[in-house]
Chains A and B, each alone.
Chain A
Amino acid sequence: MSTVPENEPDLGLAGPVFGDGSVAGSTDGSTGPTPTATPPDEPIRAVPVRHPGRWVSAALLLVLVAMLGHTLIFSRVNRGGHLESRFQWNVVGQYFFSQPVLRGLLVTLELTAIAMAAGITLGIVLAVMRLSPNPLLSGASWVYIWFFRGTPVLVQLLFWFNLSYLYPQLTLGVPFGPAFVHLDANSIITPFFAAALGLSLNEGAYMAEIVRAGIISVDEGQTEAAQSIGLSRLKTLRLVVLPQAMRLIIPPTGNEVISMLKTSSLASVVVVTELLYSVQLIYARTYQTIPLLIVASLWYLAVTSVLMVGQFFIERRYSKGAARPRTPRLVERLGQSLLHLRPQHPPDDGDPPDAIATMPREWR
């Protein structure tokens, strides 16, 4: 099978041979180690390069962290004659799990989930339309993206909220002909519906560009190979192109989900009692503005953290067969840079094949 000769001709030379036929190190064989000396066969134990800058910056950082911790936790302030903790953590604790806040959180999660699900679906459809050879579809998609990216989402929300002003009656029927169903716009377009609709349509435009970027990043050869075995255009997209595009689509989509979680707070302007509006309603009554904003922020942070963990697992699922090693976790990197710990061997916690094993063989 192999075309390489089994035995290399023995040149009778000890060291590595260079182009001119001379043997490495043979020119000054009298001094220094002889070229035939083999290096000691043991792991290299060298003094690592010192990084004094890292220690200085670590010390500075420590001082800053201490100051932050102090002001957050221990410092007290005189309010109306009595001393209380600056950030009123007791108030934070009091409202953190309170009914209105939890109800608001639920609405925020619902809005985010609905808007992202609809936005991703719409985005895939728009991206496929945009890449379609049909100029009408492609043009329609372009106009949609142009419009919804080009107007502020706040304005869009207000627009949908006030739709009943333009169309008091919504009718379903033959265009310019008889109508079959009449609906009262005010009763359909509740604040929640307006918010969900506005956020979804706006998100669709952004997701369309993300999905399109993913699709065009997949090598043309993949499409050709799929076509050559007779897969239809739709199956090629669904079975070959989109799964590979997912790797590129997921990180920015994670961004979008997290961004949506917080953008959904705009729904407060159309009187949806989501998380932010719930705490606003409370502090409008109690004037404990900062602690209640902290309550909302901590919930946003908590949900974002959970989403980031979710993103990690989704990314891992779609990185099957990918050649690029995953980025090391923050803890590993800190350990490597400051304490000169050896890079850890891939953890045996069911991670996908590690970087070495998934590398093309020629690179190993």
Chain B
Amino acid sequence: MTSGPDAWMVRAEGVHKSFGRLEVLKGIDLAVRPGAVLCLIGPSGSGKSTFLRCINHLEKIDRGRLWVDGELVGYRQVGDKLYELNDRQVCATRAQIGMVFQRFNLFPHLKVVDNVTIGPRQVKGEDQVSATERAHRLLARVGLEDKISAYPNQLSGGQQQRVAIARALAMEPKLMLFDEPTSALDPELVGDVLDVMRGLADDGMTMIVVTHEMGFAREVADTVVFMDAGVVVEAGEPARVLNHPQHERTKAFLSKVL
């Protein structure tokens, strides 16, 4: 590990990403300290989710550099030259980064417990007993110990999302990415998921959260970043960005969502 002087869990420098001719990210600079919670807010189409997906290399970046825990994402640098990582190496990187999706994406053909243990067992080669034990612990933590042998579609959306969080945590990641984790939930189910996320943040997990839950951002985030049209417009402490935005664009956005 080449963490060296930079004590950042995530660092982005001039990250660009285009889909065809559409430039979605136009030079993102960001940094997250270990244990910090960063909330990405902004209108849809602003590039928040794309940026999140770049961090665990679900999307390849076109320009700039992206480091997680001091290591380049998707590439290896020798001198000035970049070498693309192969499938196995990319998987090893991803195994250290948990991700929670808007649509949960649980594996519907597997029971809850198998959804949680599939990662540790198949990626880390953990044995069934200890993986199941961990699954029990994690499911208890998200309040779903009794659903261990249910199938995902027997659960409500909020329960599914909490299983998805447990599935990500089972890999013992050093960073968690949340892509609008509550946007697909009934309003009354949002609270449970946010409670679990709040607990994670309290335990010192480094988190990057794309969200529209301004209350959560205000309460839990160390930094709030407002993105629009592929650039970071404004970033800072939640109280400052949310209560006293400096830019017109931020003001306009917040006036609509707050």
Which residues of A are at the interface with B, using a C-beta cutoff of 8 A? 1-4, 219, 221-222, 224-233, 235, 239-240, 243-244, 318, 320-323, 353, 357-362
Distance in angstroms between the alpha carbons of A272 and B159 in the assembled complex: 59
For A360, list chain B residues within 8 Å (CB): 153, 156
Distance in angstroms between the alpha carbons of A323 and B168 in the assembled complex: 24
- Shortest beta-carbon distance from B224 to chain A in Å: 22
In the complex, which of the residues B95, B110, B151 contacts A229, with contact meaning CB atoms closer than 8 Å? Answer: B95
Contact assessment for A232 and B108 in the assembled complex, using a CB-CB cutoff below 8 Å:
no
Contact assessment for B108 and A225 in the assembled complex, using a CB-CB cutoff below 8 Å:
no
* Given the contacts A244-B109, A320-B109, A362 and B157 also touching, CB distance less than 8 Å: yes
Contact assessment for A320 and B191 in the assembled complex, using a CB-CB cutoff below 8 Å:
no
For A1, list chain B residues within 8 Å (CB): 191-192, 195
In the complex, which of the residues B91, B103, B107 contacts A232, with contact meaning CB atoms closer than 8 Å? Answer: B91
* Given the contacts A4-B188, A228-B56, A228-B94, A359 and B153 also touching, CB distance less than 8 Å: yes
Q: A228-B97, A228-B98, A232-B88 are in contact. List 20 more A-B contacts (CB 8 A).
A: A221-B105, A228-B56, A229-B119, A229-B123, A229-B171, A232-B87, A232-B91, A239-B122, A243-B109, A244-B108, A320-B151, A321-B109, A321-B151, A322-B108, A322-B153, A353-B151, A358-B151, A359-B153, A360-B156, A361-B156
Asked if B152 lies at the interface with its beta carbon under 8 angstroms from chain A, I say yes
Asked if B118 lies at the interface with its beta carbon under 8 angstroms from chain A, I say yes
For A318, list chain B residues within 8 Å (CB): 109
A-B contact pairs, 8 of them (CB 8 A): A2-B191, A4-B188, A222-B107, A228-B58, A231-B118, A231-B123, A239-B118, A353-B151
Contact assessment for B191 and A229 in the assembled complex, using a CB-CB cutoff below 8 Å:
no
For B3, list chain A residues within 8 Å (CB): none
Within 169-208 of B, Cβ neighbours of A (below 8 Å) are at 170-171, 186-188, 190-192, 195
Asked if B155 lies at the interface with its beta carbon under 8 angstroms from chain A, I say yes
Asked if B92 lies at the interface with its beta carbon under 8 angstroms from chain A, I say yes
For A225, list chain B residues within 8 Å (CB): 99, 101, 105-107, 164
For A219, list chain B residues within 8 Å (CB): 105
Total contacts A to B, CB within 8 angstroms?
99
- Shortest beta-carbon distance from A258 to chain B in Å: 26
Distance in angstroms between the alpha carbons of A360 and B185 in the assembled complex: 13
For B123, list chain A residues within 8 Å (CB): 229-231
Contact assessment for B106 and A362 in the assembled complex, using a CB-CB cutoff below 8 Å:
no
* Given the contacts A3-B191, A222-B105, A231 and B122 also touching, CB distance less than 8 Å: yes
Distance in angstroms between the alpha carbons of A105 and B172 in the assembled complex: 57
Distance in angstroms between the alpha carbons of A235 and B123 in the assembled complex: 9
Asked if B154 lies at the interface with its beta carbon under 8 angstroms from chain A, I say yes
Q: Would you give the 0/1 interface string for B113-127, flagging 1 where the beta carbon is closer than 8 Å to chain A? A: 000001100110000
Asked if B17 lies at the interface with its beta carbon under 8 angstroms from chain A, I say no
Asked if B11 lies at the interface with its beta carbon under 8 angstroms from chain A, I say no
In the complex, which of the residues A222, A224, A321 contacts B58, with contact meaning CB atoms closer than 8 Å? Answer: A224
* Given the contacts A321-B152, A358-B151, A228 and B99 also touching, CB distance less than 8 Å: yes
Distance in angstroms between the alpha carbons of A2 and B188 in the assembled complex: 6
For B157, list chain A residues within 8 Å (CB): 362
For B195, list chain A residues within 8 Å (CB): 1
Distance in angstroms between the alpha carbons of A358 and B154 in the assembled complex: 6
For B190, list chain A residues within 8 Å (CB): 3
Distance in angstroms between the alpha carbons of A222 and B151 in the assembled complex: 15
Asked if B212 lies at the interface with its beta carbon under 8 angstroms from chain A, I say no
- Shortest beta-carbon distance from A118 to chain B in Å: 26
Shortest 10 CB-CB distances between A and B: which pairs? Answer: A230-B95, A225-B105, A229-B119, A228-B99, A321-B151, A221-B105, A230-B123, A321-B108, A230-B94, A230-B91
Contact assessment for B186 and A362 in the assembled complex, using a CB-CB cutoff below 8 Å:
yes
For B119, list chain A residues within 8 Å (CB): 229-231
For B170, list chain A residues within 8 Å (CB): 229
CB-based nearest B residue for A4: B188
For B58, list chain A residues within 8 Å (CB): 224, 227-228
Distance in angstroms between the alpha carbons of A162 and B170 in the assembled complex: 59
- Shortest beta-carbon distance from A246 to chain B in Å: 8
For B186, list chain A residues within 8 Å (CB): 362
Asked if B16 lies at the interface with its beta carbon under 8 angstroms from chain A, I say no
Distance in angstroms between the alpha carbons of A226 and B92 in the assembled complex: 13
Among B109, B154, B164, max chain A CB count under 10 A is at: B109
- Shortest beta-carbon distance from B118 to chain A in Å: 7
Distance in angstroms between the alpha carbons of A229 and B122 in the assembled complex: 10
Asked if B167 lies at the interface with its beta carbon under 8 angstroms from chain A, I say yes
For B155, list chain A residues within 8 Å (CB): 361
Among B108, B123, B164, B187, max chain A CB count under 10 A is at: B108
Distance in angstroms between the alpha carbons of A357 and B119 in the assembled complex: 27
Within 40-56 of B, Cβ neighbours of A (below 8 Å) are at 56
- Shortest beta-carbon distance from A242 to chain B in Å: 10
CB-based nearest B residue for A318: B109
